[in-house]
A and B are shown apart, each in its own frame.
Chain A
Amino acid sequence: MNIKLFRNTFYLMVIVFAIPLLTNCSSDKEKEKDEEKDEVVTIDSLAIDEKLVQDVKTVKEIFYSLPSPLETAMILKQAGAKYNEEFLNPTENTSKYVTNKSMALNLGVYTTDLSYASLFDQTQATINYMDAAKKMAEGLGILNVIDEETINRLEANINNRDIIMDIISETILNSSSFFEENDRQAMSAIVLVGGWVEGLYIATNLVGPDVDLENNELVRRIIDQKLTLSTVYHLLEENIDNEDVKSIIVQVDQIKKIYDDIEITSSEIEPVTDDETNVTTLKSTTKVKMSPQTFNQLKKQVKVIRNNFTL
């Protein structure tokens, strides 16, 4: 009996160690063909392939990608935003966040603040916000995403923006992949939405009362968030079973109602490639229609939600 038990256990242990090898990125092999999969994907001609891409239901993996905190900060800067620390979430607030939801939201918020500070060469703020993000990550059980070595590397290269951006990018990658690895996609979505709302909060506050709403790049980027809003919804709806996500969707709904009053019409996109640089420009024109009242409502509502996230 004991020998049989030992043998069975041995076989199972072999499976335990063999599976990681079989799923290895570099040389994975499946032992049997899956007839159903083949039926979906064995399409070679261009005509049929067009049909394939139209049938989203057959797609194995669908990703909804929000702008990362780093991209948000770059968009703000490119649109002519100035640095104003007054609009960032004070690092002293970290002790307030004790639930998973508040820590995830504020991991996103602080990572956006960190990216924004670093792009404007605010060295001390960069260090402080990295430390605040570290506290949120640790509270969520994300070990080693931002460790002492990360902080030391940041401090040692504090005047080298490229390295700082690389460190921030890696920090974001480590936290988002951690949630994937640990089947906590809802947390990952909450972090991204926290960062997205923080970007919107900073942007709407940086638009002064005398700004020409029709000819301002920062305002255009704020309007562009109407496009991103559908991705926010998809990302949250994928995790609708999570109670924290449900409560966030209710708040995002309030923003959506205001964006519904903003009209965006776009011409067809024409790709034009520069033969020398091999860079393609997607040429198109967009017309937008937004009243000053709508902008003020948006600014007010974003502030309400951001305060719900951070206070």
Chain B
Amino acid sequence: MKKIYQAIIILTVLALIPLSGISQCKSFAKKVCKLELAPYTHDGNYNAAILTEGEDAELYKTFYAGQDYRIYICGSESLPDIEFQVLDVNRNVLYDNRKNNFSRLWDFNLESSQQLIISLRVKHSEGESDELISGCVAIMFGIKESD
């Protein structure tokens, strides 16, 4: 009986681990990140994950001619700087935020539609701490009609 009871609790714990992070990430994306997209309209898509310093993520998306876009890389305040690059399908670098003081947003439009890759990496913290910091990182897209 005791073992069954403990097993139930352990399973509950395991089930809660991913949920707590994802729920907080959603709330973070909705309440914090979305505001930074103004005056662009958030496209509504949810691309967020818990990342630890040193970890990276990539997003593949087609961007269309005739639209103005804003990419906003939104990370928890506790995280170090986030490096992000925009690459074409041949992985040529079109934008690198390290050349723009680690800016987390980039506004652009296209003469012709292209599939692009958003590649990001959470930098390591400065110093010798043994503790790795984790936090929510969301890749947000704002759109508006070109003038």
A77 CB–B CB distance under 8 Å: yes
Question: Closest residue to B54 on the A side, CB-wise?
Answer: A41
A220, B41: Cα distance in complex, Å: 23
Rounded to whole angstroms, the CA-CA distance of A23 and B143 in the bound complex is 31
Could you say which of B57, B60, B134 contacts A30, with CB atoms under 8 Å apart? B134
Whether the Cβ atoms of A280 and B95 lie closer than 8 Å is yes
Out of A53, A54, A64, A284, name the residue touching B60 (CB < 8 Å). A64
User: Which one, A19, A28, A65, A285, contacts B45 given CB within 8 A?
Assistant: A65
Q: In this complex, what residue of B is CB-closest to A178?
A: B26
Interchain CB contact under 8 A, A75 and B66: yes
Flag if A65 contacts B145 (CB, 8 Å).
Answer: no
Interface contact A67-B124, CB-CB below 8 Å? no
Residues of A within 8 A of B108 (CB): 271, 279-282
Q: Is there contact, CB below 8 Å, between A283 and B111?
A: yes
A293 at the interface (CB under 8 A from B): no
Contact residues, A80-94 vs B (CB, 8 A): none
| Closest chain A residue, CB of each to CB of B44 | A172
Query: A20-48, CB under 8 A of B: which get 1 and which 0?
Result: 10011111111111100110111000000
Count how many chain B residues have C-beta atoms less than 8 Å from C-beta atoms of the other chain: 84
Q: Contact between A224 and B139 (Cβ–Cβ < 8 Å)? A: no
User: Cα distance A142–B90 when bound, in Å?
Assistant: 39
* A33 with B132: CB separation less than 8 A: yes
Which of A27, A63, A280 interacts with B59 by CB under 8 Å? A63
CB-defined contacts of A52 to chain B, threshold 8 Å = 56, 121
B38 to chain A, nearest CB (A): 10
Q: Is the CB of A29 within 8 A of B9?
A: no
How far is A31 from B132 in the complex, measured between Cα atoms in Å? 7
Given the complex of chains A and B, what is the CA–CA distance between A23 and B141 in angstroms?
25
Is A180 positioned at the interface, with any CB of B under 8 Å from its CB? yes
Q: Indicate whether A253 reaches chain B with its CB closer than 8 angstroms.
A: no
- Give every chain B residue within 8 A of A268 (Cβ-Cβ): 92
Distance of B100 from chain A, by nearest CB (Å): 9
Which chain A positions have C-beta within 8 A of B136?
25
Instruction: For the complex formed, measure the closest distance between the CB of A25 and the CB atoms of chain B, giving whole angstroms.
Output: 4
Q: Is the CB of A41 within 8 A of B121?
A: yes
Known: A26-B76, A26-B77, A37-B55; 18 extra A-B contacts, CB below 8 A, are A9-B5, A16-B9, A28-B133, A30-B131, A37-B52, A53-B85, A61-B56, A65-B59, A67-B64, A71-B143, A79-B66, A171-B44, A172-B44, A181-B19, A269-B114, A271-B94, A279-B107, A280-B107
Contacts from B to A (Cβ < 8 Å): 2, 5-6, 9-10, 12-13, 16-26, 28-30, 34, 41-52, 54-62, 64-68, 76-78, 83, 85, 87-88, 91-92, 94-95, 106-115, 119, 121, 124, 130-136, 139, 141, 143, 145-146
Going nearest first, the 4 A-B pairs with the smallest beta carbon separation are A172-B44, A41-B54, A20-B20, A28-B134
